[in-house]
Amino acid sequence: MRLASTDNDCPTRSAMSDDAGRAASDPVRPADLELADDRVRRLDDDRYVVRVDDDADAGTDAVRESRESTSDGTNPLDDLDGAHALCAHARTETGEDALRVETNDVSRAFESFLRWYAGRVAPDEPPEVALAVLLSNASLDLAVDPGGR
């Protein structure tokens, strides 16, 4: 498995916008953070998770866009050899980062992505804690039963 984390490996997504005409990369405005809103879940004192879209399929455009070539016509996955490869780019409060993974093990690719993303959004927390918070606040009906494979 090969991992890389650099700012230049993956294309950015800047063309997508929401219904209000704001770009997906625009920061959430204070007016968007009404604590009584169903999209806001309190974690503890002064910590909240805010779901910024009401559409369960909001990620569809991002997935579709990630399958397209970059602006120079190249595909960021072309130089990765593994049966399972991914290229991800994230922007958080602490900056931007990119991850490239290639492996023949789909579980390792997925775990690498999860650990990387958790480290970006909650750098002071163990990945397991960050992922548990993210999943508990997602609109997914998720039950994990490793024995029921």
What is the reported pLDDT for 122?
93
Q: What's the rounded Cα separation, in Å, for the pair 64 and 59?
A: 9
Contact 23, 61 (CB under 8 A): no
What is the Cα Rg of the chain in Å?
17
For the segment 72-130, what is each residue's pLDDT rounded down to a tens digit? 656 777 777 778 888 888 898 888 999 988 888 899 999 999 999 999 999 999 999 99
Task: Indicate whether this model's pTM tops 0.85.
Answer: no
pLDDT for 56 equals 42
Distances in Å between the Cα of 119 and the Cα atoms of 11, 40, 87 are 20, 22, 16
